[in-house]
Structure 1
Amino acid sequence: MNHLKLSFCVCLFITSLISAQTKNITLEDIWKYGRFRTEYMDALHSMANGKQYSVLNFDLASRSTSVDIYDYETLEKVKTLVSSRDLNDLAYFTNYTFSADEQKVILASNEQAIYRRSSIGEYYVYDVKKQKLTRISEVGIQEPTFSPDGTKVAFAKANNLFVKDLISNTVKQITFDGEKNKIINGISDWVYEEEFGFVRAFDWNADSNKIAFIKFDETEVPEFSMDVYGKQLYPTQQVFKYPKAGEANSKVSLHLYDLKSEALTDIAVNKKYEDFYIARIAWSNDADVFSAQFLNRHQNALDLWMIDTKKMTSNLVLAETDEAYVDVTDNLTFLEDNSFIWTSEQDGFNHIYHYDKKGKLINQVTKGNWEVTDYYGYNEEKDIIYYQSVENGSINRDVYAIKLNGRNKKSLSEKEGTNEAAFSADFSFFINTFSNASTAPEFTLNNSKTGAVIKNIKNNKALTDKLKDYQTSVKEFSTISINGNDLNMWMIKPANFDENKQYPLFMTQYSGPGSQKVANHWNSSNDYWYQYLAQKGIVVVCIDGRGTGFKGAKFKKVTQNELGKYEVEDQIAAAKELGNLPYINKNKIGIWGWSFGGFISSNCLFKGHDVFSMAVAVAPVTSWRFYDSIYTERYMTTPQENPSGYDDNSPINHVKDLKGDFLLIHGSADDNVHVQNTMRLAEALIQADKPFDWAIYPDKNHGIYGGNTRLHLFKKMSTFIEDKLLTNNE
């Protein structure tokens, strides 16, 4: 029988007495004035000496940016390395990248976003000793990257690769077949960028004389077009290659450019499958050997190849398979002897492994029924690996040190909540970022041997003090037993909560594979929105159901081939259980979500029409047939192979069951989840004669922001929620 566990772990949202809180949070506070913005440390880089770090700073008075160097032990600024105030040709810069010897810095300016991670911009090399600034290219370029010796910069322009020699100030083009919507050299295509999480698809070897890169042949990939309405008399169109589930992907291939011989060579490996992805490339410490990670199209087989560019041979050193899928990470780390660190879910939980250079397992470094959530690096001198995990409960994060042989594990964090580490280059210090539901982010300098705090760097006391003036509520963490699983949950009740009254319930979730929304960390912007709704008299709840992350592979991968089935079952069952609480009005239960969360909220209202009275769906997937190949097929295989998995859980096919109130929202320029999803769902609702509310935000992408957009969006949703849940709340 489903039941609520009564042992709540309660985290006070703030520590002052509720009676001292007088102000109400407004939507303008959140989305217009940004009154609750959190301070962070921007673009922190640990210097090679291990004793100093650099930070990108912005001077409001002079409207200038600078790269400033600080001492770890004293936290005092040592010097300003470069400031835009001293640069005649560069009024400001927005990011920086050091060469390996830290004698040169690439400064980025006028970066214009292309998609989620990619951008094109103006880039300059600043020579620290000569205090000289040189523009890399007179036109916009992508991903400028120093060679390890700092004498060259490789970059992409107009789908081709180039190398600039910083000594002779000459530029050499190394590929010539790049063409928009056809051939891309060294830069990932749309779907790789979005789903494999990288843009730069080229890499320098250790001797700075070879570049390995991936070529994407998009010729056969179907095109997607979006109208851009703009402000002119006629709209324009954005046309780009987008492989939907089951459609043709880019044909990818490996290539090598030798700077000495100027030879461009095709690299082939003896693959077991024809339709494949190259998810990662990286050179080993051997300047002649680089690695490539190949995935079959189903993504349930990952092969790690080592390619010897001197002998022109390739060896398969690791082959990992899974009944569902194998995750791709950035954790591959080559040690001095070219043995390597690897992370994997092969024992049912994500853990760290050590292999020799031929792929023979030396040992499993971490073990247990918990997940490693981040790999920070390996200290060769001390023979210690540093990592983050959920050993202290799946909603928390702690930092640990462990010997490479898996012994002498030590926790380096003390406070319960979310701890994240940024280690110095020599691993002698780390800057710990800590927060929990009641503590705004705190930045401390810690000793990496003991974890002890050496000094406090920065906190958000000003924000905490400001929040004392506002009426806020307790955020209660607990679990709820649903469908045989104890699911993580948080609940926010109105500040003046009266257990003898009944309140509407509003559920928030994302529910996507491996995701987490119930986590013990400081507020996002939406948390303040949930406080706003609680002020209006609504109980807000978030539950991570089956398919979400950090509770083992079995829990996460149960949704394989049926996205939207178990996730929706859990939200419906949880709503029913919560509706039985004496202080919840079971006739006034709503749910919302964005993207995958919008897919779930739509299905919850349609399939759970006897439980949910309203739902909001923002930028939802409404049929997985419309979404991209890499993400969708990872969890669903292709629609040709699994048509029922695609159609049985598609909101479009369940509109006949709509009984409650539905608000559907999308941006017309969403390159990720296309507005096609909402248009097709709207048409299905119309043909089924089902009333619904909706809004299209012109020329807005998947994030639906810019100018007054976010405020307008949340006003619209808030008005809808209040009208449907608070009216006639009896």
Structure 2
Amino acid sequence: MSESFPRLFARTRRFTLGVPRGFTIAPDGGRVAFLRSRSGTDPVTCLWELDIPSGAERLVVDPAGLGAADEDLPAEERARRERAREQAGGVVAYAADSALASAVFALSGGLYLVELATGAVRALDAPGPVIDPRLSPDGAHVAYVSGGALRVQQIAGGADRALASPEAPGVTYGLAEFIAAEELDRHRGFWWSPDGTALLVERADESPVQRWHIADPANPARPPASVGYPAAGTANAVVSLVILGLDGSRVEVPFDDEYLVTASWGPQGPVIVTMPRDQKAQRVYAVDPATGETHLLRETTDPAWVEVVGGVPARLSDGTLVSVADSEDGRRLVIGDAPVTPPRLQVRDVVGVEGDTVLFRAGAEPTEIHLWSWSAGVLSPLTEEAGVHSGQLAGGTLLIASQTLASPATTVQVRAGARRLSIASVAERPKLEPRVSLLSAGERALRTAVLFPSDHVPGSRRLPVLMDPYGGPHAQRVLAAGRLFLEPQWFADQGFAVIISDGRGTPGRGPAFEREVLHDLATPALDDQVDALKAVAQIYPDDIDTSRVAIKGWSFGGFLAALAVLRRPDVFHAAIAGAPVTDWRLYDTGYTERYLGHPRDLPEVYDRSSLMADAEKLERPLLLIHGLADDNVVAAHTLRLSSALVAAGRPHTVLPLSGVTHMTPQEVVAENLLLLQIDFLRKSLAP
């Protein structure tokens, strides 16, 4: 008997297991290391290597063979994976030396070293659970974090010592603090010098951050977890930088801004990027490793906020700065001081610099993200098929990972000279094929996806509608990638017309489109969902029943779903709000203050964007779902809205998920969540 889609969707972690990822190309371009589990239902990630001359794949590290397939993770590693949205286990990350000869990784808190040529693995002694181990470029030392200390171990002799230890409770060395990992896409806190003699290290002091306590009500004997959570308007961790030499030297690197956005250490020396709390400026500094003195290389300002872009700053071989900046309503690649991409080509991120060649991702059409290169003043597109593409370049070997609408699978192609190889995905095949139409809807040409049941005959019947947005900053749902529409197609096959629309604030349309949510995360987002629905109904008048419209979402999408039935019950007749942000004063500083400002200065902005005052307006069915272990959008959001609804005498349904975080990787939970949502929708939208 074949598995149902909900069960397979859950077992495969949304069909992500078995997909190759985490690529590293050897400097000579002859080998590629990568991560992949053994099958599409195996949650244990292994380390593999592709030999390009022979085309042979080889299993390098299997955690099961090390007796560490079932992991007992330290709390810091669990938090790191939650921030990175990591759903698998095993070797979920590794770090190699510059020659890709050796690599280190952590398993169950233990420290391991593998020689890639032979596959020989050995455990390295460490005094405690290991977080984020990274080899020095020459492979002679490994640095890692344990107990909040930044430690270094000599590979040859095994000597292990702490270069910096916490001076007080709440202090850590070498770890990205909460805001960096959750909102700035920085998941590391130390960087090796190219010669392997020193490290640039973050020191984070969380003692000013308020403590919140996340309990497990299903297990009352278990004490609550105490977490530092910098809610909007409250104190952040105090972040500073030091350069620690293997010779015992310590050099402070002073900077005045609240946020350390990113850092790197290349042949020209360390570079850091900082940002003030209001995020209206970004400053790029060169650092003198001998003295710690900083020199301002570039400052970018914006009256709304300056967007954080991945992969920059970087440098060409001669030291020329590679960055991304907004101008003429375009997010543009900048070499030195000159923009080199046209405004219409919105740059998403820089994925690497090889000598004087810059590899970056960009697209003129918001639903497509293509791979491009810039070299010696020449822009070259490296992908053509509509889709979402990424890649890497080293030693003349180009790797391209692609998702397209033609298939829900991820394809990985390796181009080395005239050779063309592929790295296979062993992900499970879904039990359905997405039938998705991408549209530009309404006056604002909102990129919108529409899905009907697989057996639907156009014009044969008018279907109830399920709006399924994220709808907020920093995330897109409408992209030309089949895997994104597997769950929506399943919902469609239950008898719905599913509509997904990216409104104002979402990326890919240029800075002006993104900044229309400044000081109001509610009104533009909700108006655009209404406009998208009306536009789709005009295109499919015989297939859309606008008298039966539901909306569902998770996180910002959950906020938007609850907002929809509270403020527009004339349009939306039921809502499922998963892990919704209901009061933006309860959400974190980095995200919330970027768009809404400081709550002390703009309290009316927070009131306008929050849901509490709308509780008495509820007249439609509302299902609130929340993981009680969520440390990102804490369960207080749902519980406080529920209390306000009860106080207003408004019936609603709350589904608490014991032990579940902001992700829902547990198989039984993920499977039954789909089934429970369908049951709620059918009852709520019954004719």
TM-score, L = length of structure 1: 0.84
C-alpha distance in structure 1 between counterparts of 2:44 and 2:501, whole Å = 44
Structure 1, residues 143-194: CA drift from partner, whole Å, max 9, x if none? Answer: 11112222111111111111112233111212233544x2122212222221
Aligned to 1:411: 381
The 1-side partners of 2:599 and 2:568 are apart by: 25
Structure 1 residue aligned with 2:448, among 468, 486, 489?
Answer: 489
Which one of the candidate residues 191, 210, 221 is aligned to 1:234? 221
Instruction: Say which of 367, 371, 378 aligns to 2:342.
Output: 367
**Distance between the aligned counterparts of 1:315 and 1:142, measured in 2?**
32
Q: Is the 8 A contact 1:473 1:493 kept in 2?
A: no
SS at match of 1:203: strand
Deviation string, structure 1 residues 9-45 (Cα, Å, up to 9, x no partner): xxxxxxxxxxxxxx99653343358896774224432
User: What letter is aligned with 1:105?
Assistant: A
Q: Aligned with 2:224: secondary structure?
A: strand
Report 1:228-267 matches (<5 A). Answer: 228-229=216-217, 231=219, 234-260=221-247, 262-267=248-253
Paired AA for residue 521 in structure 2: L
Query: Is the 1:601–1:615 contact (alpha carbons within 8 Å) kept by the matching residues of 2?
Result: yes
Name the CA distance, whole Å, in 2 between partners of 1:89 and 1:456: 29
Structure-2 separation of matches of 1:594 and 1:347: 33
1:491-526 deviation line (CA, Å, top 9, x unaligned): 1123223515322111010011132111111224xx
The more displaced of 533-542 and 693-702 is 533-542
Instruction: Give how far 1:490 is off.
Output: 1.1
Q: Determine if the alignment matches structure 1 residue 541 to structure 2 residue 499.
A: yes
What corresponds to 1:388 in structure 2?
361
Q: Report how far residue 402 of structure 1 moved.
A: 2.6
Displacement of 1:475:
1.2
State the Cα distance separating 1:473 from its structure 2 match: 6.2
Q: Distance in 2 between matches of 1:497 and 1:659?
A: 34
Q: Contact (CA 8 Å) 2:476, 2:506: kept in 1 or not?
A: yes
Residue equivalent to 2:288: 308
Assess, with a 3 A threshold, how the Cα gap between structure 1 residues 194 and 169 changes in structure 2: closer, same or farther: same
Deviation by residue 1:519-556 (Cα, 9 ceiling, x = unmatched): 111224xx333323322321111111111110100001
Q: Counterpart in 1 of 2:82?
A: none
Q: State whether structure 2 residue 10 is matched by structure 1 residue 31.
A: yes
Structure 2 equivalent of residue 49 of structure 1: 28
Instruction: Say if 2:262 is the partner of 1:280.
Output: yes
1:434 is displaced (CA, Å) by: 2.8
Question: How many Å separate the matches in 1 of 2:542 and 2:603?
Answer: 42
**Aligned match of 1:17:** none
Once the two structures are superposed, what CA deviation does each residue of 1:394-445 show, in whole Å capped at 9, x if it has no partner?
A: 111222233242x3x222223222333233x21x232323332232335353
Which one of 535, 547, 550 corresponds to residue 508 of structure 2? Answer: 550
| Aligned equivalents of 1:66, 1:27: Cα separation in 2 | 26
Q: 1:692 to 1:74 in 2, by over 3 A?
A: same
- Corresponding residue of 2:157: 168
Q: Deviations over 1:560-616 (max 9, x none)?
A: 111112011111233344456343222211111100001111111111111111111
Cα deviation digits, residues 250-295 of structure 1 (max 9, x gap): 12222222222x13232224x4xxx611222222313xx3222111
Q: Do the aligned partners of 1:25 and 1:532 also contact (CA within 8 Å) in 2?
A: no
Task: Tell me if structure 1 keeps the 8 A contact 2:104–2:113.
Answer: yes
Answer with 193-202 or 37-46: which moved more. 37-46
| Equivalent in the alignment of 1:143 | 132
- 1:12 corresponds to which residue? none
Cα distance change, pair 498–291 in 1 and its aligned pair in 2 (3 A): closer
User: 1:154 pairs with 143, 156, 164, which one?
Assistant: 143
Whether the 8 Å CA contact 1:385–1:404 is kept in 2: the answer is no
Determine if contact 1:156/1:187 at 8 Å carries over to the other structure. yes
Which letter does structure 2 place at the counterpart of 1:348?
A: D
2:449/2:500 contact within 8 Å kept? yes
For the 8 Å contact 2:329–2:343, the answer to whether it is kept is no
Aligned to 1:421: 391
Instruction: Tell me the equivalent position of 2:644.
Output: 684
Q: Give, as a single letter, the amino acid of the residue that structure 1 aligns with 2:250.
A: L
CA distance in 1, matches of 2:577, 2:10: 19
1:637, distance to aligned residue in structure 2 (A): 0.9
- Counterpart for residue 670 of structure 1: 630
Q: Which residue in the other structure is 2:78 paired with?
A: none
Q: Quick check: 2:19–2:427 contact (8 Å CA) kept in 1? A: no
Q: Using the alignment, how far apart are the partners of 1:30 and 1:132 within structure 2? A: 34
> What is the aligned partner in structure 1 of residue 74 from structure 2?
none
Deviation larger for 294-303 or 199-208: 199-208
Distance verdict in 2 for CA 1:161–1:626, change over 3 Å: same
Higher deviation after alignment, 129-138 or 566-575: 129-138
Letter of the 1:476 counterpart: S
Contact 1:125 1:136 survives alignment (8 Å)? no
Instruction: Tell me which residue corresponds to 2:75.
Output: none
Residue correspondence of structure 1 range 341-360 to structure 2 within 5 A: 341-355=322-336
Partners of 2:375 and 2:471 lie apart in 1 by: 35
The 1:341–1:659 alpha-carbon spacing in structure 2 relative to 1, beyond 3 Å, is: same
1:113 maps to none
Query: In 2, distance between residues paired with 1:283 and 1:473?
Result: 44
Relative to 1, partners in 2 of residues 1:447 and 1:256: Cα closer, same or farther, differing over 3 Å? Answer: closer
1:507-518 correspondence runs (5 A): 507-518=467-478
Q: Given residue 362 of structure 2, which amino acid in structure 1 is its aligned partner? A: S
- Measured after TM superposition, the shift of residue 209 of structure 1 is 1.9
Contact 1:350 1:370 in 2 (8 A): yes
Residue 58 of structure 1, CA deviation: 5.4
The CA deviation string for residues 430-485 of structure 1, in whole angstroms up to 9 with x for no partner, is 23233322323353535478xx883455367983xx75xx5x6631111111xx41
C-alpha distance in 2, partners of 1:444/1:497? Answer: 35
Aligned 8 A contact 2:150 2:162 in 1:
yes
Deviations 1:299-345 (A, max 9, x none): 01111111213244321111110111112233221233222211222
- Tell me how far apart the structure 2 counterparts of residues 33 and 266 of structure 1 sit (CA, whole Å): 46
Distance 2:507 2:669 in 1: 31
Aligned residue type for 2:104: I
The one-letter code matched in structure 1 to 2:107 is S
Per the alignment, residue 105 of structure 1 pairs with: 103
Q: 1:653 aligns with which of 590, 613, 621?
A: 613
Task: Give structure 1 stretches of 5+ with no counterpart.
Answer: 1-22, 111-120, 356-360
Q: Is the 8 A contact 2:163 2:246 kept in 1?
A: no
> 1:123 is matched with which residue?
111
In the alignment, residue 104 of structure 1 is paired with which amino acid? Answer: S
Residue 85 of structure 2: aligned partner: none
One-letter code of the match for 2:258? F
Q: Quick one: distance in 1 between partners of 2:369 and 2:30?
A: 26
- Normalised to the residue count of structure 2, the TM-score between the two structures is 0.89
Farther off after superposition, 124-133 or 293-302 = 124-133
1:694 has 2:662 as partner: no
Offset of 1:103 from its aligned partner? 3.3
Tell me the SS of whatever aligns to 2:156. Answer: coil
SS at match of 2:527: helix
User: Aligned AA for 2:438?
Assistant: F
Report the CA distance between 1:221 and its aligned residue: 1.2
CA distance in 1, matches of 2:681, 2:449: 20
Which whole-Å CA distance do the structure 2 matches of 1:566 and 1:710 have between them? 31
Cα distance in 1 for partners of 2:446, 2:461 equals: 26
Tell whether 2:205 aligns with 1:217. yes
Q: Mark the CA change 1:157 to 1:462 in structure 2 (over 3 Å): closer, same or farther.
A: closer
Amino acid at match of 1:417: G
Matching residue within 389, 398, 402 for 1:430: 398
For 1:90 and 1:582, the matched residues in 2 are separated by: 53
Query: Which residue does 1:18 correspond to in 2?
Result: none
* 1:563 counterpart residue number: 521
Q: Percent identity?
A: 22
Q: Which residue of 1 aligns with 2:354?
A: 379
CA contact (8 A) 2:315 2:353 kept: no
Amino acid at match of 2:559: F
Q: 1:56 to 1:675 in 2, by over 3 A?
A: closer
Report SS of the residue matched to 2:106: strand
